[in-house]
């Protein structure tokens, strides 16, 4: 279909193929599926960046003393967590 917008070429390698199939095994339009995945991915990436920036802002405020932070209480929470049979495993 003719368009005035620039196009991009994407190689559907095994990893991308698997991701596409997981979302929609038999799409009517692979191009439309890729566009939708790109837009959703951009939303997720922007949200992650926003959360990252917000976390840095909070840490800087703690470092500057603008936010009170009880490091002793944090240490106690972490020690209690280590003694717990329900271990937290970060990703």
Handedness of CA 14, 38, 48, 22 (dihedral sign): negative
Kindly report, residue by residue over 38-84, the tens digit of the pLDDT. Answer: 999 999 999 999 999 999 999 999 999 999 999 999 999 999 988 88
Prediction pTM value = 0.68
Question: What are the structural domain ranges in the chain?
Answer: 14-83
Write down the pLDDT at residue 36: 96
Kindly report, residue by residue over 21-41, the tens digit of the pLDDT. Answer: 999 999 999 999 999 999 999
């Amino acid at each position: 279909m003719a368009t005035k917008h620039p196009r991009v070429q994407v190689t559907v390698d095994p990893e991308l193929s698997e991701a596409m199939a997981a979302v929609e095994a038999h799409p009517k339009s692979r191009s439309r599926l890729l566009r939708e995945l790109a837009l959703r991915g951009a939303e997720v990436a922007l949200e992650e960046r926003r959360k990252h920036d917000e976390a840095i802002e909070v840490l800087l405020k703690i470092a500057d003393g603008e936010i009170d932070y009880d490091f002793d209480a944090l240490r106690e929470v972490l020690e209690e967590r280590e003694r717990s049979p329900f271990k937290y495993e970060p990703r």
